[in-house]
Amino acid sequence: MSFIRFGAATAVAMALAAMTTGAALAKTDVTLALQLEPPHLDPTSAAAGAIDSVLYANVFEGLTRFASDGSIIPGLAQSWEISEDGKTYTFHLAEGVTFHDGTTMDAEDVKFSLDRARAEDSANAQKALFAAIESVEVVDPQTVKVTLSAPTGNFLFNMAWGDAVIVAPESIEGIKQTPIGTGAFKFTNWVQGDSITLDKNADYWGTPAKLDKVTFKFISDPTAAFAAVMAEDVDIFAGFPAPENLPQFEADPRFQVLKGNTEGETILAMNNKQAPFDNPTVRSAVAHAIDRQAIIDGAMFGLGTPIGTHFAPHNPDYLDLTALSNYDPEKSKALLAEAGFADGFKTTLKLPPPSYARRGGEIIAAQLRAVGIDAEISNLEWAQWLENVFKGKDYGMTIVSHTEPFDIGIYARPDYYFQYDNPQFQADFAELEKTSDPAKRTELIHKLETTIAEDHVNAYLFELGFATIAKKGLKGLWKDAPTQASDMTAVYWDE
């Protein structure tokens, strides 16, 4: 009897041992480092990209969503119909979707989320995305009808933003500390200043996540970032801040390095209403004075793609217009002389903190000096930059990366900080907003891209690169960053 019991106990012990070793072989957790920590966890009431970097697609989902290549795919809305006049969208929601607190996600939640975002007292940083919505109507629990005041060709794209995710009225109160969404991961813990933990959502309505646990760590200092990856404290660093270290990681057999694009058009913005930049010939002279490759190599260590207009090069509608502002210092000097500045002029170059601006600014100032333009550099903190340059428009030139996807519309806002006021462009953009026919849209987008490139509104430098360093064996990571996200839903260890 005791012998049998002993035997059974041994069998159980052996089975348990086999199970634990089996579990140990297939690693199911990941530690991912980001440079910036989110200020709070509500993607619908702040511009901070760091919030989306943690929560987008993982915890929160919208009606539609961005895929890794930037295309729009169904999210909580599994399908939709668009009326003939392009003004009514009927969304069919996925069945059996629950929030992480167990409540059901249905048409009422969609109505709540959209109405909250466009309300008068809304704190949504991208309120413009919802401007076209006239009414949101609950047809039945699985169907929502959204009526627009005018046809909006970009509406499905707008609904894919992190600012347009679906939230529940029951959990909105505590969303900034305890985000409750519908995603494949649920929020577990936040040690402020250090890390955020997400656990797999066992009740997920769609394809379940392959990982059981994701820990986000926040390491802002580039040297510390390098050390954390080298010491293998973290498995992934998304958006590695020091491009100069990438060759070292590429040579290391422990790591894989993914180099992709972001939606960040990095531009040398000029104050179009301030002399001498109100003269298009002067702006053209500035554009021709700039050697983009030298900036990419010098400031970004080769990470980045030259652009000739305000549009992401990986987008199918991108036109390569770099030839319109090719590097030609002689031409630049001739244009300056033509504009009456044969001896050059003096201006300001105000730089926000990111390294693309600070390092790039030094190189640009040197390139401008070569054609006779004396750009006096001053370094600003972000808050000062926003106050002084962005809001106060007190600047000659500045460098900034516009990271929102498809943001060419800022050129249709004459009060935007570079103050470009072209009625033709504004009319064309209004036309584009009403158009949903893809061929017609492409044609209009090409026209917009060309207009601002020919007007040399700003000097277009490069598309900001995105580098991810991960341990070998990790699969399913995004290479590009079509929106700020670290989509972990398809990531797994393959060792």
Partner 1 sequence: MLRYLLRRLLSLVVSLVVASMVIFAMVEVVPGDPAAYMLGLNAQADTLAALREELGLNGSLVARYFDWVGGMVQGDFGTSYTYRTPVAGMVADRVAISLPLALYALALSTAIAFPAGIWAAARRGRAADVTVMGVTQLGVAIPNFWFAMLMVLVFAINLRWFNAGGFAGWDEGFFAAMKSLTLPAIALALPQASILARVMRSSLLDTLNEDFIRTARAKGLTRGQALRRHALGNALIPVLTILGMQFAFLLAGGIIIENVFYLPGLGRLVFQAISARDLIVVESVVMLLVFAVIVVNFVVDLAYAAVDPRLRARL
User: Which residues form the interface with partner 1 (CB under 8 A)?
Assistant: 37, 39-40, 46-48, 120-128, 176-177, 191-195, 217-221, 223-224, 227-228, 230-231, 233, 353, 381-384, 386-388, 390-391, 402, 404, 407, 410
Q: Residues 50, 51, 54, 60: is their CA dihedral positive or negative?
A: negative
Tokens 């929106």 locate to: 483
Amino acid identity for residue 87 in this structure: K
Q: What CA–CA distance (Å, rounded) separates 2 from 372?
A: 97
Q: Which is nearer to partner 1, 228 or 258 (CB)?
A: 228
- Residue 333 or 471: which CB sits closer to partner 1? 471
CB of 222 to partner 1, least distance (A): 10
| CB 216 to partner 1: min, Å | 12
Least CB distance to partner 1 at residue 132 (A): 14
C-beta of 212: minimal distance to partner 1 in Å?
20
Residue with Cβ nearer partner 1 (122 or 281): 122
Least distance from C-beta 429 to partner 1, angstroms? Answer: 15
Dist CA 187 CA 55 (whole Å): 9
The whole-angstrom separation of Cα 374 and Cα 346 is: 5
Tokens of 303: 């990470």
C-alpha span between 37 and 273 (Å, rounded)? 37
Angle between helices 292-300 and 355-370 (to 10 degrees): 140
Phi and psi for 136 in degrees, rounded to 5?
Answer: -125, 125
CB of 414 to partner 1, least distance (A): 14
- Of the chain, the end-to-end C-alpha distance in Å amounts to 44
CB of 358 to partner 1, least distance (A): 14
Of 225 and 299, which has the nearer Cβ to partner 1? Answer: 225
232 vs 437 by CB, closer to partner 1: 232
Which residues 6+ apart lie within 8 Å of 445 measured at CB? Answer: 311, 317, 408, 432
Write the CA distances from 249 to 217, 254, 298, 431, integer angstroms. Answer: 19, 8, 19, 47
Q: How far is the CB of 397 from partner 1 (least distance, A)?
A: 17
Q: Is the separation of the CB atoms in 192 and 200 below 8 Å?
A: no
Angle, vertex CA 226, rays to CA 37 and CA 268, nearest 5: 65
Q: What angle do CA 379, 297, 388 make, to 5 degrees?
A: 20
- Residue 9 or residue 227: which is nearer to partner 1 going by CB? 227
Residue closer to partner 1, measured from CB, 269 or 368: 269
Nearer to partner 1, 83 or 220 (CB): 220
